[in-house]
Amino acid sequence: MKIATWNVNSIRTRLEHVKNWLADNQVDVLCVQETKVVDESFPREPFLEQGYQPVVFGQKSYNGVALISQTPLEVVKLGFAEVLGPSVADLDEQKRVIMGVLDGIRIVNLYVPNGSSVGSDKYIYKLRWLTVLRDYLAALLQQEPGKLLVCGDFNVALEDIDIYDPTGREKEVMATDLERQALRQAVLDLGLADVFRKFTSDGGQFSWWDYRAAAFRRNMGWRIDHIYLTPDLYDRAIACTIDKEPRRLEQPSDHTPVVVELQE
């Protein structure tokens, strides 16, 4: 089984890129972020024609997540509140969380808030969001331990090796100690592991490059798109790769796909 995550930075703008990538890669599920479109305007037909079933949770111009699956998903939950209840419903005004079940694997697709700047209201919102994410994942694991895959654009570089130049990173959003601590508590402390690091400890491996300053050509990137697995799935993982090719296209997303392959 192959599952991929990709922040496409507008599904309608990048539609041909995504279609072509799916045709070439034939993953079982593509988890996309920043769809930037309301559900009724999501371009479903092109994916249906390719044999994929989209399940979407979107909003106009911002955010939005979707699961694009070859096989219809068994269970779908949209947002935090469907698991945790109405006390966190305000966080679902921004469409950032979608979960679906395939062959017993619960796939959680996330678009973590960016945080804007350290100390800002958006930064505080991000830290709260990550705290609620921990509660959400803990609740899922309590309901049914094991077989949980959590992926998406986390907007956090967890280690210095995940940044092309970590100098001064403690003052930069996406790399502060508080963000890293919040992500570790939300995911790693629950027993999940970063599957990409199962296969490489090398630096220079990034999934996002700024559009400015020829950042991609100079490989001035960050690894902020992650796939985390519970131990049983981690043991089944036989590959996890970053596919840089879509970033080389004209008018690309600033992110590129990350793909994990699980042994059946």
Give 28-44 pLDDT, tens digit per residue: 999 999 999 999 999 99
Residues 6+ apart with CB under 8 A from 238: 261, 262, 263
Q: What is the mean pLDDT of residues 67-96?
A: 98
Residues β-bridged to residue 76: 100
Radius of gyration of the chain (CA): 17
Hey, what are 9's tokens? Answer: 């930075």
pLDDT for 5 equals 99
Instruction: Kindly report the pTM of this predicted structure.
Output: 0.98
For the cut 90, the answer to whether the pLDDT of residue 142 exceeds it is yes
Kindly report the backbone phi and psi dihedral angles of residue 160, in degrees, each rounded to the nearest multiple of 5, phi listed first: -60, -30
The edge-to-edge listing of strands for the beta sheet with 65-69 is 53-57, 65-69, 29-33, 2-7, 258-262, 237-242
pLDDT for 49 equals 98
How many other CB atoms are found less than 10 A from the CB of residue 43? 16
pLDDT for 178 equals 98
How many other CB atoms are found less than 10 A from the CB of residue 192? 22
Residue 257 near residue 26 (C-beta atoms within 8 A): no
How do residues 100-135 score in pLDDT, each as one tens digit? 999 999 999 999 999 999 999 999 999 999 999 999
pLDDT for 235 equals 98
Q: How many residues does the chain have?
A: 264
For the cut 90, the answer to whether the pLDDT of residue 264 exceeds it is no
How do residues 167-220 score in pLDDT, each as one tens digit? 999 999 999 999 999 999 999 999 999 999 999 999 999 999 999 999 999 999
Q: How confident is the model at residue 48 (pLDDT cuts 50, 70, 90)?
A: very high
Average pLDDT along the chain: 98
CATH no. of 2-262 = 3.60.10.10
DSSP 222: E
Residues β-bridged to residue 5: 31, 258
Nearest CA-CA partner of 3 in 24, 23, 31:
31
Residue 106 near residue 164 (C-beta atoms within 8 A): no
d(CA 12, CA 254) in angstroms, rounded, equals: 15
Question: Residue 246: left if φ>0, alpha if ψ -120 to 50, beta else—which one?
Answer: alpha
The CA distances from residue 88 to 77, 128, 136, 204, in Å, are 14, 10, 10, 37
pLDDT for 122 equals 98
Kindly report the backbone phi and psi dihedral angles of residue 36, in degrees, each rounded to the nearest multiple of 5, phi listed first: 60, 40
For the cut 90, the answer to whether the pLDDT of residue 53 exceeds it is yes
Q: How confident is the model at residue 224 (pLDDT cuts 50, 70, 90)?
A: very high
